[in-house]
Structure 1
Amino acid sequence: MSLARKFATVGGATLGSRLLGFGRETLMAAALGTGPMADAFYAAFRFPNLFRRLFAEGAFNAAFVPLFAKEIEANGIDGAKRFSEEVLGVLFTVLLVITIAMELAMPLIVSTIIAPGFVNDPEKFDVTVKLAIVMFPYLMCMSLTAMLSGMLNSLHHYFAAAIAPVFLNLTLIAALAYGLWTGADPLMTAWYLSWGVLVAGILQMAVLYAGVRHAGMRFGLRRPRYTPNVKRLLVLAFPAAITGGITQINQLIGQMIASTKDGAIAVLQYADRVYQLPLGVVGIAVGVVLLPELSRALRGGAVKEAANLQNRSLEFVLFLTLPAAGAIWVISDEIVRVLYERGAFSPATTATVASTLAIYGLGLPAFVMIKALNPGFFAREDTKTPMRFTGISVAFNCLLAVSLFPIYGERGIATAEAASGWLTTVLLFVTLVRRGHWEWEPALFSRVLRLVSATVVMAVSLHYASGYLADWLTPQARLLTQLTALMLLIGMAMIVYFALAFAIGGADASMLRRNLKRKPRPETAQEEADTSVLPPPQM
């Protein structure tokens, strides 16, 4: 199967989940707006979500997948099963201890990490603590789910892992719909949502476990033992966890700062949800697929194939992400108005969320490129270098956010996150090139410049087109009319961008048909098998 089809498999499933996420956020905006209960729920949910990205998705995509793939290559399915049972025994025990400790310390955590600005509002603080206590076991479910996802991805079963997040959105939509149907107040709706998060975590874990069994892997829970395999996993996982959660770390910092202003946390969440659509569909799909593919190529000594995988993946993500960033920058007001402006979500809130979203759009290409660049380190079992860059980025984000928030509010936090994302991208790319782990292609640079040009033309066209459809996009227009106008704008932008990108050579059919195939060129395959060696891990 070509990389393009694998990207499409993961990206398509992620797209379905993200679209449901929009439905969820639309109901959330109508039910809670940017009121105190919205702030409380989003603040409480951010904490287990952060740990999920740190200790689940980030750590296992970076550390577990290469080691699991190596076990399959060296010892077959039986070796991989034994390794999985060793990891599961330790992981389950550690997660259980962390969950109990965090539940007991939740008031302290909320007052110092999650939302220190809530301390002056006893009611909001108390609700946030209780909601966080209900939702924190979600971390345990999702960490085990991440391990199962890593196993499935290594076994080339991508769809089940990608579709699992749909259950979170379906469960939360059901909770919101029930709350709106029964006329529940914001506090009761927040409780419905919190229990929905926990139920969704259990459902996702059950679906992935069934998927692993269907893939032929049957394993059980062993007594935790500190084996050499587990030790190697932990050595790789800790820095990978920090690296994989860079976006969430920066968002948590932004949340801590934003908690001093009423409604700011909800504003950031609503803007985050929009730009997460292209980030999830493109960035996460590429990151999930590229790591096992790159690990396998390097393990087999196919260095040229690995270089081709990296270049084609970066080309692919920019081909799809640059126009998304341009569109978000130009029509952020229209997007937010159509998606959210109803019920408790006012026109003034639309203006604030839209300006924040536009800035996030400028950082979108960087956030996606990080997903494509990190596997270049992780596949070589080097997780410390990206962690160092993450530390630099977080410090930079803190400095900017603290400096800009008093002046620009939520826009200052978005600016800090976008700038730190670009800083991380530059550090990762330059280091890969300097180490010889990225074969620089002048043709790639030329195509990227042409894609940027096509994006600029598209953005200008979109600006003028949105003016012609302004009457269809006013708050007074019916929702169906607004949706039609927004779809027309997006459709026009896609036609302009793709037509121009292909016309000026920024993209061509061979890029999509031939270059994204994993199979190396016949004339180089034997040469690589004879001469290539795997570079040593960079510690």
Structure 2
Amino acid sequence: MSLVRKFMTVGGATLGSRIFGFARETLMAAALGTGPMADVFYAAFRFPNLFRRLFAEGAFNAAFVPLFSKEIEANGTDGAKRFSEEVFGVLFTVLLLITIVMELSMPLLVRFVIAPGFADDVEKSSLTVRMAMVMFPYLMCMSLTAMMSGMLNSLHHFFAAAVAPIFLNVVMIGALFYALYTGADPLTTAWYLSWGVLVAGILQLAVVYFGVIHAGMSIGLKFPRFTPNVKRLLILAVPAAITGGITQINQLIGQAIASAQEGAISALQYADRIYQLPLGVVGIAVGVVLLPELSRALKGGNLREAGNLQNRSIEFVLFLTIPAAFALWILSDEIIRVLYERGAFHAQNTAVVASILAIYGIGLPAFVLIKALQPGFYAREDTKMPMRFSAIAVTVNCALAITLFPHFGAPGIAVAEATAGWISTVLLFVTLLRRGHLAWDWALARRAALLVVAAAIMGGVLYYLRGVFAASLASGSPLLTKLGALGLLIGVSMIVYFAVAFLIGGADLGMIRRNMKRKASVEPPPPADL
């Protein structure tokens, strides 16, 4: 299967999850708006979500996948199965201990880490503690899910791992429909959602477990033993966990600062959901597929193939995210108005959330490029350097968020996160170039510049058409009219962008063929020392 077809497999499943996510957020906006219960729920959910990224996606996509791939290459399926059972035993035990400690410490964590701004409101603080305690076991389910997803990706079974997140959105949509149908108040709705998160975690774990069995593997629970392979995994996983969760760390910092202003947490969350669509479909797909592919190429000594994979991934990312960034910047008001403005979500909410979304749009290419660049380190079992870059980004994010929030509110936090994302991208890119792990490609640089030109022309057309369709996109227009106008704008912008990109040379049929066919330039491994 070609590289881009694998991207499309994962991206398609992720797109399905994101579409359900839009439906979920639309219902949540109607049911909760940006009121206090929305702030409470999102604050409580952010903490298990942070640990999911730290202990699950970051650690295992970065550390487990290369080692698991190495075991497959060296010792076959039996060796990989033995390694996965060793890891499963240790991971299960560690997660159980972490869950117990966090549940007991939740009141202190909410007061000093999750939402210090709630300290003066006893009711909000107490509700956040209780909802976080209900949702925190989601971490355990999702960490085990991430491990099995890593196994599936290494075995080239991408679909089950990619489709599992849909169940979170399906369960939460069901809870919201039930709440709206029964006329539940915001507090009851938030409780339905909290229990729904836990149920969804169990379902996601079941999906990937059966996927692993279908792939010809099985995992038994064994007594935890720190074997050499497990120790090596831990050495790689700790810095990788921090790096993989950098976005969540920055968002947790932003949430802690935003908790001082009512509605700021939920405003950031609603904007985050929109930009997660291109980030998820492109960024997660590239990161999930590229890491095992790079790992296999490097383990086989195919350095030229590894370089080609890295460059094709960057090319794919730029081709799709540059126009998306322009579109989010120009159409932010219209997107938020069409998707969210109803029920408890009012016009003034639209203005705030749209300004945040526009800023996230500027950071979008950086957030996605990080997903394409980090595997260049992880596949070589270097997780420490990206962690150092993450530390720099977190420091910048903290300083900017604290400085800007008093003056600009929630949009200031978005500026801090976008700036931190671009700093991480530049550091990763320059380091790969200096090490010789990424070859500078002038043709790729030229195409990237032309893609910016194509996107700018598309942006000009969008700006003009936005004025033409202003009446159809106004707050008082029927929903179907607004949806139709927004869909038409997006459709026209895609036609303009692709037409101009091909016309001026930012994209060509050769680029499509390079990405749709995996013709790796395979180098023989260096001769063994005599």
> Would you say same fold, with TM above 0.5?
yes
User: Aligned partners of 2:50, 2:424: CA distance in 1, in Å?
Assistant: 19
Counterparts of residues 132-211 of structure 1 (less than 5 Å): 132-211=132-211
Aligned position for 2:524? 529
Once residues 243 and 310 of structure 1 are traced to their aligned partners in structure 2, the CA distance between those partners, rounded to angstroms, is 19
Q: 1:529 corresponds to which letter in structure 2?
A: P
Instruction: Tell me the alpha carbon deviations over residues 160-186 of structure 1, each in whole angstroms, 9 at most, x when there is no partner.
Output: 100000000000000000000000000
Q: Counterpart of 1:444? A: 444
Measured after TM superposition, the shift of residue 514 of structure 1 is 2.7
Query: What residue in structure 1 maps to residue 117 of structure 2?
Result: 117
Amino acid at match of 1:349: N
Instruction: Classify the secondary structure of the residue corresponding to 2:50.
Output: helix
Which amino acid letter does the alignment assign opposite residue 62 of structure 1?
A
Q: What's the offset of the Cα at 1:532?
A: 8.3
* Within-5 A mapping of 1:457-476: 457-476=457-476
Which residue of structure 1 lines up, in the alignment, with residue 213 of structure 2? 213
CA displacement 1:196-230 (0-9 Å, x = unmatched) = 00000000000000000000001200000010000
Aligned to 2:413: 413
Residue 116 (structure 1) shift: 0.3
Q: Paired residue for 2:481?
A: 481
Asked if 2 retains the 8 angstrom alpha-carbon contact of 1:257 and 1:402, the reply is yes
CA contact (8 A) 2:302 2:525 kept: no
Q: Equivalent residues in 2 for 1:310-459 (5 A)?
A: 310-459=310-459
C-alpha distance in 2, partners of 1:51/1:461? 42
1:251-281 CA distance string (max 9 Å, x none): 0000000000000000000000000000000
Give the direction of change, closer, same or farther, for the CA distance of 1:259–1:80 in structure 2 (3 Å limit).
Answer: same
Give the structure 2 partner of residue 4 of structure 1.
4
- Tell me, in whole angstroms, the C-alpha distance in 2 between the residues paired with 1:518 and 1:395: 40
Q: Per the alignment, in what secondary structure is the counterpart of residue 433 of structure 2?
A: helix
**For the Cα contact (< 8 Å) 1:41–1:128, is it kept in 2?**
yes
| Alpha-carbon separation, structure 1, partners of 2:525 and 2:105 | 57
* In structure 2, distance between residues paired with 1:477 and 1:24: 22
Cross-structure match for 2:242: 242
**Aligned 1:32-71 pairs, distance under 5 A:** 32-71=32-71
Task: Name 1:537's counterpart in structure 2.
Answer: none
Deviation at 1:517? 3.3
Specify every segment of 5 or more residues in structure 1 that has no aligned partner in the other structure, as ranges: 534-539
Structure-2 separation of matches of 1:514 and 1:507: 11
Give me the whole-angstrom Cα distance separating, in 1, the residues matched to 2:268 and 2:126.
22
Per the alignment, in what secondary structure is the counterpart of residue 491 of structure 1?
Answer: helix
- d(CA) in 1 for partners of 2:475, 2:447: 40
After TM superposition, give the deviation of residue 516 of structure 1 in Å: 4.6
Deviations 1:86-142 (A, max 9, x none): 000000000000000000110000001100000101111111111000000000000
Counterpart of 1:294 in structure 2 is 294
Q: Secondary structure at the match of 1:120?
A: coil
Give the match for residue 107 of structure 2.
107
Contact 1:145 1:208 in 2 (8 A): yes
Residues of 2 paired with 1:507 and 1:293: CA distance?
24
Native 8 Å contact 1:4 1:512 kept in 2? no
The CA distance in 2 between the partners of 1:336 and 1:530, in whole Å, is 53
Partners of 1:177 and 1:127 in 2: CA distance: 22
8 Å CA contact 2:300–2:525 kept in 1: the answer is no
Q: CA deviation at 1:530?
A: 4.8
Structure 2: tracts of 5 or more residues without a match: none
Give the partner amino acid of 1:29: A
- C-alpha distance in 2, partners of 1:460/1:250? 32
Q: Deviations over 1:416-449 (max 9, x none)?
A: 0000000000000000000111011110000000
Q: What RMSD over aligned residues (CA atoms) do the two structures have, in Å?
A: 0.9
**Secondary structure at 2:374 match in 1:** helix
Matched letter for residue 336 of structure 2:
V
Q: Deviation per CA, 1:55-83, whole angstroms, max 9, x where unpaired?
A: 10000000000000000000000000000
Structure 2: distance between partners of 1:433 and 1:129: 46
Deviations 1:21-58 (A, max 9, x none): 00000000000000100000000000000000111000
Deviation at 1:232, TM superposition (A): 0.2
CA distance, structure 1, for counterparts of residue 366 and residue 219 of structure 2 = 39
Return the offset for 1:314: 0.2
What residue identity is the alignment partner of 1:102? Answer: M
C-alpha distance in 2 between matches for 1:219 and 1:206:
13
Q: Distance in 2 between matches of 1:196 and 1:346?
A: 26
Which residue of 1 is the match for residue 271 of structure 2?
A: 271
> Contact 2:61–2:291 (CA<8 Å) still a contact in 1?
yes
Deviations 1:337-384 (A, max 9, x none): 000000000000000000011001000000000000000000000000
By how many angstroms is 1:518 displaced? 3.2
How far did 1:519 drift?
3.4
CA distance in 2, matches of 1:281, 1:13: 8
For residues 532 and 314 of structure 1, do their structure 2 counterparts lie closer, same or farther at Cα, with a shift above 3 Å needed? Answer: farther
For the residues of structure 2 that align with 1:416 and 1:514, how far apart are their CA atoms? Answer: 36
The one-letter code matched in structure 2 to 1:72 is I
Q: Is residue 322–residue 452 contact of structure 2 (8 Å, CA) maintained in 1?
A: yes
Q: Is the 8 A contact 1:312 1:516 kept in 2?
A: no
Q: What's the CA shift for 1:531?
A: 4.1
Identity %: 73
Q: Is the 8 A contact 1:137 1:198 kept in 2?
A: yes
Structure 1: how far apart are the matches of 2:27 and 2:480? Answer: 16
Does the 8 Å contact 1:271/1:356 carry over to 2? Answer: yes
**Cα displacement string for residues 359-410 of structure 1 (whole angstroms, at most 9, x for unaligned residues):** 0100000000000000000000000000000000000000000000000111
The one-letter amino acid paired with 1:84 is: S
Aligned amino acid, residue 219 of structure 2: F
Asked whether the equivalents of residues 301 and 532 of structure 1 are also in contact (C-alpha less than 8 Å), the reply is: no
Describe the shift of the 1:159–1:532 C-alpha distance in structure 2 as closer, same or farther (beyond 3 A).
farther
Task: Measure how far apart 1:509 and its partner are.
Answer: 1.9
CA contact (8 A) 2:153 2:288 kept: yes
- The offset of 1:247, in angstroms, is 0.6
* 1: CA distance, partners of 2:287 / 2:344: 37
Q: Is the 8 A contact 1:58 1:242 kept in 2?
A: yes
Contact 1:309 1:516 in 2 (8 A): no
Aligned length: 528
Once residues 476 and 278 of structure 1 are traced to their aligned partners in structure 2, the CA distance between those partners, rounded to angstroms, is 29
Contact 2:4 2:515 in 1 (8 A): no
Shift of residue 511 of structure 1? 1.4
| SS in structure 2 of the partner of residue 471 of structure 1 | coil
Instruction: State the AA in 2 paired with 1:95.
Output: L
The one-letter code matched in structure 2 to 1:483 is L
Aligned counterparts of 1:532 and 1:96: Cα–Cα separation in 2: 47
Residues 497-516 of structure 1 aligned to structure 2 (within 5 Å):
497-516=497-516
What letter matches 2:351 in structure 1? A
**1:419 is aligned with what amino acid?**
T
Q: Secondary structure at the match of 2:471?
A: helix
| C-alpha distance in structure 2 between counterparts of 1:515 and 1:409, whole Å | 42
Contact 2:275 2:360 in 1 (8 A): yes
Question: One-letter code of the match for 2:142?
Answer: M
